[in-house]
Amino acid sequence: MPLEPLLAEIAACRACAGELAHEPRPVVRVFPETRLLICGQAPGRRVHERGLPFDDPSGDRLRDWLGVDRETFYGDRRIGVAAMAFCFPGTDPKGGDFPPPPRCAALWRARLLAELRVELILVVGSYAQQWHMPGAKGRSMTDTVRAWREGLPNVIPLPHPSWRNTAWLRRNPWFEAEVAPYLRARVAAMVGA
């Protein structure tokens, strides 16, 4: 199926309606031109309300890792975002978000990837890493990111850019010393002027 009708099908998906405390709102942002795909966990509440992925401080940190500004991130159709689940899964009793429902990847992920011509996938956090990287199974997120070269040239694992991971970034300075510069160079080669 071509990309546009598939995206329309995803936009109309209500498969999780009976299990969410809110109306599903699929948020996926890809284009026929998308070559760099960012795969996180699932939209948070703010993304659910606004419909724009990474429109928050996490997105600012991610853009810093990529070396792109907001204008490029949202305006360059070579950059796309498709999380492991497309709808906000809700907030758990501890204040975090519920994990992405596996149903979403089972329903849509392979079909969506088949319609894209992606050159580099950034897999953000353990859910995306375990789906996209066979070697990530049974590994911690830290060990998977530490072994980031294993996924090259097509996949790079990243920690979530959330403020919740600020302590992780301090404990693992190799990430911003080694991975982020490599990532910026790759992204510049793909979407630079």
Residue 141 to residue 129: CA distance in whole angstroms: 8
Q: Decide if residue 15 touches ligand SF4 (CB under 6 A).
A: yes
Q: Decide if residue 83 touches ligand SF4 (CB under 6 A).
A: no
Q: Decide if residue 13 touches ligand SF4 (CB under 6 A).
A: yes
Site of tokens 């995306």: 128
Q: Which of 54, 65, 73, 86 binds ligand SF4 (CB under 6 A)?
A: 86
Q: Decide if residue 44 touches ligand SF4 (CB under 6 A).
A: no
Q: Decide if residue 85 touches ligand SF4 (CB under 6 A).
A: yes
Query: Among 9-17, 45-53, 113-121, 128-136, which window interacts with ligand SF4 (CB under 6 A)?
Result: 9-17
How many other C-beta atoms are found inside a 10 Å radius of the C-beta of residue 107?
Answer: 18
Q: What track of x and - describes contact with ligand SF4 for positions 90 through 119 (by CB under 6 A)?
A: -----------x-xx--x------------
Task: Indicate the burial class of 52 (C-beta count within 10 angstroms; 0-12, 13-18, 19 or more).
Answer: middle
Cα-Cα-Cα-Cα torsion 65, 171, 163, 10, nearest 10 degrees, comes to 60
Residue 53 to residue 73: CA distance in whole angstroms: 10
Q: Decide if residue 87 touches ligand SF4 (CB under 6 A).
A: yes
Residue 101 to residue 93: CA distance in whole angstroms: 17
The residues of the shown chain that bind ligand SF4, judged by CB under 6 A, are 10, 13-16, 24, 26, 85-87, 101, 103-104, 107
